[in-house]
Structure 1
Amino acid sequence: MTAVRSTFLRFVIGADAAACGLMGAAFAFDAGFLAQPLGLSLAFMQPVGLFLLVYAAGLVVMALRPTLPRPAVWALVAFNALWAIESIAIMALGWVQPTQLGVAFVAVQAVSALIVGDLQYLVLRRAKKRQAAVA
């Protein structure tokens, strides 16, 4: 198992932590304010917000490490892809009925998760190529 050392990866993870922390705090503590404009229920937003706060804390810990195990970064890539898929699926399956603003919000954060996951994947590919060049 090789470790990945990348300042850019740490920046991407840190930015993801900030975004998840902000969204988590908004959903956990301002869900009553956001429920009507987004068309999402308190029962949905508050647990998601609390989860995101815990996830953001884990991302902060990872972003502060000088190196990251490759499997941990792959887990982040997979989680971001899964988050994006689930975000669209909850609307497509009718589990939530967001307003137009809510649909846009969910879609934007799903695309953002895909972008973050793609950036993490690109760092993994670059690290693998660099390792192969050294070997």
Structure 2
Amino acid sequence: MSVFASPRFLSNVMWADAASCAATGALQVAFTDVLANLTGLPAWLLMGTGVFLLAYAAVAAFMASRATPPRTLIGLVIVGNFAWAVACVALLVSGVFAVTALGVAWVLAQALCVVVLAELQWTGLRRTRGGARMALA
């Protein structure tokens, strides 16, 4: 059986999303000033997005823990993940902040991570939709 065909695939992707957001959010909240100095990103932005990521991680974990992940909410998560990636790139392209090389890496790593997660979530939604149709046939 393919990992993509597993009935737990979508839940597992949501757990990965929750874990990555919890880790990133915790780092940004716990080490705001250190990260601000290393990345060139403002402390208020790191703290604000860190708190948001911690709250989002709790919601993603809730979705992952459901026997059947809520498809509509996961659809919103996919859109949100792509929007986060666009916002990351826009932040870097804007030149508003004097972001260091480490800051560029930090922001691009987040963009890449959320794009991969969104693609996996989309794959999971398509697989569960196809599975539901096949079960009804």
Q: Same fold (TM over 0.5)?
A: yes
Equivalent positions of 1:1-135 (< 5 A) are 6-134=7-135, 135=137
The more displaced of 122-131 and 55-64 is: 122-131
State how far apart, in whole Å, the 1-side matches of 2:116 and 2:53 are: 18
Contact 1:91 / 1:97 at 8 angstroms: preserved in 2? no
Taking only the aligned residue pairs, the percentage that are identical comes to: 35
Q: Secondary structure at the match of 1:98?
A: coil
Contact 1:12 / 1:116 at 8 angstroms: preserved in 2? yes
Q: TM-score, normalised by structure 1?
A: 0.90
String of CA shifts for 1:31-77, please: whole Å, max 9, x gaps.
Answer: 11111111111111111111111111111111111112221111111
Q: TM-score, normalised by structure 2?
A: 0.89
Please tell me the root mean square deviation across aligned C-alpha atoms, in Å. Answer: 1.5
Contact 1:31 / 1:42 at 8 angstroms: preserved in 2? yes
State how far apart, in whole Å, the 2-side matches of 1:103 and 1:57 are: 27
String of CA shifts for 1:85-122, please: whole Å, max 9, x gaps.
Answer: 11111111223331011101111110110000000000
Structure 2, unpaired ranges of 5+:
1-5
Structure 1, unpaired ranges of 5+:
none
String of CA shifts for 1:2-41, please: whole Å, max 9, x gaps.
Answer: xxx9411111111111111111111112111111111111
Q: Secondary structure at the match of 2:75?
A: helix
Q: Secondary structure at the match of 1:68?
A: coil
Equivalent pairs counted in the alignment come to 131
State how far apart, in whole Å, the 1-side matches of 2:133 and 2:67 are: 21
